[in-house]
Structures are given as C-alpha cells and as structure tokens.
Chains A and B, each alone.
Chain A
Amino acid sequence: MKPLALIGTVLAVAAVTAALLLSGSSYAVQVAITALIFVILTASLNLVTGTAGLMTLGHAAFYGVGAYAAALLSTKLGLSFWVTLPLAGLVTAFFGFLVALPTMRLTSIYFAVATLAIGEMIVVAITNWTGFTRGPMGIRGIPSITVFGHEGLTVNLLVVLAATLVSVWAIWRLTHSYYGNGLRALREDDQCAEAMGLNAVRLKIEVFTIACFFAGIAGALFAHTSGYISPESFRFGESILLLTMAVVGGLGSVPGSAIGAIILIVLPELLRGAGNVRMVAVGVVLFLCILFLPKGLFGEVSALAFARNQLRRAGLGWSR
C-alpha cells in the first residue's frame, strides 16, 4: 500500500507551484511566498497551542526575533542566507528557551497573558533600541536568497517552498509520534500526565523552544524574501492573525494549519477590491469559526486518522 493522499498532496503542491511560475504573475508568486511563510508560522504555533494546549498570544514577536536576527547577521556581518537561516532559527529557539523557563509554571489564561506581555516587550525593545535595530525605520537592503548565483522571485518561491515542506514535515512527524502523544496528554490534564511519569515542565519548555525555532526560520525567510523589515510586522495583531489561522484550520491539526494559513492569506487578497477590510474579515472568520466550527476545517480527529493511515501505508511511525 502506498500513502496515496500524501503523494497526492505533494503532487498538488508541485502542480500549483508550476502553474504559478508559468503564469508569470509576480504578484501571485509574492502572495504564495507570504502564504508559505505563514504556513510554517501557523504549524509551529499549532504545535504549542493546539497539540500541547498552551495558548500563546506572542508568537509573532518570535517571528520578529528570527527576522531581525537574520537581517542583522546579514547586513552587519555580511553572512549569506544559508548561514543566517539556521542561525536565526537557533537564536530564536534560545530566546524561546529563556522565555519558557519562568513562564512554564503558569497554566491556561496566565500563560496566554504572560506570552502577550513578553511579545509586546520584545516589540517595544525592537522599536526603541534604535542604535541596534534602527527602531521604527526598520532594516533595509537585506540581501536576497541566492542559489548558485541565481536570484529572483522564482528562486525565492522555490527556496521558501522547500523550507516550508521540510518544516511542516518535521512538525507533522513530531505531532504524530510518541512525543506528540505526550504533548496531547499534557494538554488534556498536565497533573495526570505527570502522575504517569511525564516531566510536564520539561516537555513544555522543549515544545516551546522547538516552535520558536520554526518561527525563527519563518522570520529569516521573510527578511530575506522581502528585503525590508520593521517592527510593525510583528505586533500583537499578527499574533492574533496566526492564532486565527490555527483555529480556523483546526487546533492540533497540521494539515489544518496549512489550510487555515492559506485561506486567511489568499482570501483578503481576493477581497482587495472591497477596500481595507482585511482585519474585519479576520475577526468575523474567527468569530464564526469558534461559534459554528469549534474544531476547525480539518479537525484534530481527522488529522490524527489521516496521519495514522498515511504513516501506516508508508510503513513509518508507531501505528503499524
């Protein structure tokens, strides 16, 4: 048996990419790059908020840490994209680790608000530390991605696509492993999980650090594909957008994250003619989703069934 749905997804992604590149529309390619970056971000947020049940309201700030790390490393030290990409991930992961140490004793609402506060602290620091980050003016002239001397939109799209596929694959395998089961146990009842021998605090710190690593990767991709970053892109509103994507797609579901991110990036672009209603649309979609579709478009139960089925067909994982 072959994992037909999985192969089908990869083929569909390849087909869409080919269509985008053949259409020659740089606008469409730009939207696709943004959507892919948000797929990584939403999947990493979903690992923390959906699978491990720790609602975080400051994820965009870690995305910002990654973007600023990549931008500063490349503009000040002249490092190339291939060095700054992993370094940005590691720097952000280290940041996340430091943040996780004191906050992981908190549960539900308290954790959500602590992450909100830390996210805003990071943005305030980026905005006001003008000597280091150039503050509200942002950083310009970040070198773009080069592969064997080639650069441009096509290269950007292909590199971002590759990074997204690798990241989502890693997060997907992590979610559907014994480790992911531990995280779900933690979400349902952390005291019970501890009684069964899981080290709850350690698991939480680890998963937060991992999620921050991927947020940093997304930030580096954003910095190098757009060439310009400013603190405005990493504010609280962006964290809410990420959370909305995760909720719309389905908390705890990796395919759901991708679906949610793509819908909420592409839909406002289609609505562009109707004026500046992007954030209103986000709010309305979030509200309707919570009210009528609390499990999301591709809920965790379907995601688990899908993953078990596909992994068994591929002869991988724990569900043989």
Chain B
Amino acid sequence: MFDVHFLQQIVNGLSLGLVYALVAIGFTLIFGVLNVVNFAHGEVYTIGAFAGLLLITSVAPPLFAVLLVVAAVGALTGFGLERLAFKPFRRFRDEASIKSRAMREATLLSSLALSIVAREVLDLAFGGEMQVIPQSYLLQTPIMIGGVALTDGNLVILGASILMLAGLQWMLYRTRTGLAIRAVSNNVLGAQFVGINTERAIVATFLVGSMLGAVAGIMVGLYDGSIFPHMGFGPAVKAFVAMVMGGLSSIPGAVISALILGVAESVATDFVSAGWKDLIAYGFLIVTLVFFPRGIFGYSRERV
C-alpha cells in the first residue's frame, strides 16, 4: 500500500490541495465578512494567470517578481470587483440588510455576471485554447527525492503557499486591519459601534482574498503548463467545496478540507479514469451538505 507510487500521489495531491486552499481562503474570508459568495473568485484566479503570462511574454522578469506583480494585479481586481459587484448593493448599513437574503442573492448574481463578462472578454481577446508559455518559466523540472519525483513546481507551490498562509495569519492576528476584518466578520453592527471603518475592512478582505487567488492562478498555470480563459471554474468549485466542508467561515477548516480534497482527487486517479475525477469534489459537497451541515469540523453555524 505505502509504496513509492502511492507516496508520489500523496505529494501531488498535497500540492493540488494547497492551491485549492489558497483559492478557498479568498472565498472563506469574503464569506466570513460579508456572508455572501463571491462567484467571480474563479475569474480572479484566471486573471492572475493571464496577467502573469502577459508579464512573462513581454518583460520576462524573474519568477519572484512575477508572483509579486500578479499579487498586485489580484489585489486591484479584487478592489474593482468589490466596487462593481458588491458595493452597489450595500445601500443600508444595518445588520439586517447587510446579511439579508436579498443582498446575498443580488451579489451572487452580480458577481456571477461579472465573472461571465471577464471570462468571455478573455476568451475574445486570447481565444479559447491554451496559451503558449515560454519553456524556461514552466515549473516542471523534475527533482528526485528517494524515488519520489517532485518538480520544482511542487516546491514553489509549497513555499509560496506556506509563506502566504503565514502572512495571512500574521495579518489577521497581529495588525489593526486584521483586527478590523475579524471584528466585522464577527459582528458588523458591533464593529460599527466601536468605530471600526467597516467599508475599509471589507475592501481589505477583498484585496487579500483576491491576491491569494491570483497568485494561485499563475502558479498553477506555470505548473500545469496550461492557461486558458475557462481555467478558473474547476478550482473555484473545489475551493467552494473546501469552504463548505471546513465549516464556512473557518480558515483552518477550509485549508485542511482543501488538502483532503486534493489528496483524494490525486489518489482516485488510480481507481477511476480522469473524466470521472470531478465527481469526487461534487460527491464530497453533497455528502457534507446532507450529513454534516455544520462542516466536518463542527463549527457552529446558522441553519443551512
């Protein structure tokens, strides 16, 4: 059972899971603060990948600089997204309307609409097929460690993810902005009463969440060697599944669920053909929603 091949699948799964985790954190942060689902999160991931690709083909900077610029582009996209799709629906500032169902569904549809526009504009501009990535940037150089074939992509994803997760924890627990984000996510009205600028906290949430999503996009694009306008849909759905499995507003829960999901998908390729692989995430989602409506880590939540 525990042979080299199995270990290999676990490693691949963990690196896939880390990517899902980065995307899932964006979802979870935004859900925690606004109680809404950002359906355009997958497109932030795609935009990150395309921004990185444009940079690589035009300027060809070192990889680290690419990741930084993509993070900046992601933050900018998040800001624009918040202004266009979420701000117009926050006309009232009381808690009832901020967390109301009408607001939730309106923003769900508006972010969905923007995601369609973004994806189709990219499709028109670049064409629907996979983009050509310069060979020197592909993160596919194999590195053998005791029979397990890692690639430098695995290491970059692992390093960058750990760095970003640590940075996020520092931001959330050691800075005033992080304190404001946690306060708003805990209780919007209470946060306003103690003088927290909730608008700023919400914008900060979008900036951070989209930054992580965009960096995940370019890393996966270079690791898989495929960047195309529809690439965001799969990771976004799986990140959403991870968020629901983790108990919705819990970041550690979402990260652990994302890793479980990644490993499950990677191991499952031994047993089923690639086409059926997508069923695993959907199956996890249905099982979670039906049998563990509070998420598999049992955090408290309102009625689902």
Give me the interface of A with B, judged by CB distance under 8 Å.
55, 102-103, 105-110, 112-114, 116-118, 120-121, 124-125, 127-128, 236, 240, 243-244, 247, 275-277, 279-280, 282-284, 286-287, 290-291, 294
Contacts and interface: CB of A to CB of B under 8 A. Distances in A.
B273 to A, nearest CB: 7
B282 A118 contact: yes
Contacts of B37: 109, 113
B279 interface: yes
Top 3 nearest A-B pairs by Cβ distance? A283-B116, A287-B113, A283-B117
Contact of A279 (B88, B120, B275, B281): B120
Nearest to A109: B37
18 contacts: A102-B290, A103-B289, A114-B285, A117-B281, A118-B282, A121-B282, A121-B283, A124-B275, A127-B275, A128-B273, A240-B112, A283-B116, A283-B120, A286-B109, A286-B112, A287-B110, A290-B106, A290-B109
Contacts of A275: 124
Interface centre among A105, A236, A243 (most CB of B within 10 A): A105
B49 interface: no
Given A120-B278, A128-B275, A280-B120, A290 B110 contact: yes
Contact of A117 (B112, B114, B273, B282): B282
A117 B241 CA distance: 9
Interface residues of B, number: 41
Given A113-B285, A117-B282, A286 B113 contact: yes
A276 B124 contact: yes
Interface string B282-298: 11011001100100000
B88 A102 contact: no
Nearest to A251: B105
B279 A110 contact: no
Contacts of A127: 275
A108 to B, nearest CB: 6
Interface in B142-200: none
Nearest to A284: B117
B237 A120 contact: yes
Contacts of B241: 117
Contact of B279 (A124, A236, A244, A276): A124
B88 A291 contact: yes
Nearest to B115: A283
Contacts of A243: 109
B286 A283 contact: no
A283 B303 CA distance: 31
B279 A121 contact: yes
Interface centre among A106, A108, A117, A243 (most CB of B within 10 A): A117
B104 A109 contact: yes
B153 to A, nearest CB: 27
Nearest to A247: B109
Nearest to B107: A290
> Interface of chain A, helix or strand or loop or mixed?
helix
A287 B84 CA distance: 10
B82 to A, nearest CB: 15
B121 A280 contact: yes
Contact of A106 (B124, B276, B281, B304): B304
A109 B108 contact: yes
Contacts of B240: 113
A118 B144 CA distance: 40
Nearest to A130: B275
A277 B233 CA distance: 20
Interface centre among B85, B105, B106 (most CB of A within 10 A): B105
Contact of A128 (B88, B237, B276): B276
B304 A107 contact: yes
A4 to B, nearest CB: 35
A284 B113 CA distance: 7
B106 A294 contact: yes
Contacts of A276: 124
Given A109-B104, A118-B282, A283 B276 contact: no
Given A124-B279, A284-B117, A117 B286 contact: yes
B98 interface: no
B274 to A, nearest CB: 9
Given A109-B37, A114-B285, A287-B85, 9 more contacts: A55-B108, A110-B293, A240-B112, A280-B120, A280-B121, A282-B116, A283-B113, A283-B115, A283-B116
B244 interface: yes
Nearest to B128: A276
A128 B277 CA distance: 10
A290 B184 CA distance: 26
B124 A108 contact: no
Contacts of B90: none
Interface in B86-130: 88, 101, 104-106, 108-110, 112-117, 119-121, 123-124
A112 B109 contact: no
Contact of A240 (B88, B116, B303): B116
A117 B108 CA distance: 16
Nearest to A112: B108
Contacts of A118: 282, 286
B233 A236 contact: yes
A127 B273 CA distance: 12
Interface centre among A113, A120, A291 (most CB of B within 10 A): A113
